[in-house]
Amino acid sequence: MEQVRLGETGLKVSRLCLGCMTYGSPKWRSWVLDEEQAKPFFKTAVEKGITFFDTANVYSIGASEEVTGKWLREFARREEIVLATKVNGPMGPGPNERGLSRKAIMAQIDASLKRLGMDYVDLYQIHRFDYETPIAETLEALNDVVRAGKARYIGASSMYAWQFARMLAVSDENGWSRFVSMQPQYNLVYREEEREMLPLCRSEGIGVIPWSPLARGFLAGGRAAPKEGNTERARTDEFSPRLYFRDADFKVVDAVSEIARQRGLTNMQVALAWVMKNPAVTAPIIGASKLGHLEEAVSAVDIKLTADEVKALEAPYEAKPVLDHA
């Protein structure tokens, strides 16, 4: 698989990133695969050339990091992989067991490394913006994490472009480690990041690693209504109805299905190919609960859409409110 630079860094990552929220403990979400069920996904990902893996402390309340660390240690050398995790979500009942305060960041990086069984992470990301903590406090703490060798780079996730721009400016003003990546929601039925965030990232040399490039499976088709679909996650998903299921969204799915039919591809391949054609995008984050999904996603890397196909895919889109930035 092609390896590309993450933004303007010298770090090389695979063109696809395996999202590891699917692996951990079904006690957290019924669709999550446990340690043994997750094993073939990591083995296959490594064999297919995926070197980039993304998890978070809050996924399965730590169990995702444990599973991710275990199988990556078994199937790959540490030097071969780029491992990302996140901090912000609640990890306990206490007020300092969440958020982006200095106390929380310093405690959570050590806890994440212990669960992963690793000395450092390649990319340490803030999991949304923290409205209760001063920006400078968060950024200085992240800078200290990098200086201590516990993370090689830092990144951010869904927030308003003005917030991200302000954080970049504060880092620059103080000579602190700068965010090298942004993880926004971006797919054919949620394109609001095209307005400001993606242009900002291109201007600032920030790598973009979109989450939900398949709209939580909505773009794969077969979901005429909430809680329908061919996976446990689709059938139990409480989140998607807040994001998708508008009339225009179904028209987009119809366009995806038609091009997939014409090209002899799957909806997943067409939707992923569309995300990857954006020059701002470094590596979409894919989730997989079936091995076939992983293999389909890998095959999408080499698919090129024509200008007419892109036009047909984009035509039905209707603007949405900005979603999931808090």
Q: Which residues are catalytic?
A: 59
For 84, the token pair is: 């990302």
* Element holding 63 (H helix, E strand): helix 63-75
Query: Is 181 within 8 Å of 125 (Cβ atoms)?
Result: yes
For 226, the token pair is: 């909430």
Q: Residue ranges of the alpha helices (H) in 118-196?
A: 135-147, 161-174
Distances (CA, A) of 53 to 9, 120, 152, 154, 229: 17, 14, 15, 15, 26
Residue whose tokens read 């209760």? 132
The three-point CA angle 255-267-200 to 5° equals 80
* Element holding 219 (H helix, E strand): none
Look at phi and psi of residue 62 and say left if phi exceeds 0, alpha if psi is from -120 to 50, else beta: left
Residues, the chain, total?
326
**Nearest one of 309, 298, 306 to 48, comparing CA atoms:** 298
**Nearest one of 233, 67, 53, 188 to 125, comparing CA atoms:** 53
**Nearest one of 184, 181, 192 to 211, comparing CA atoms:** 184
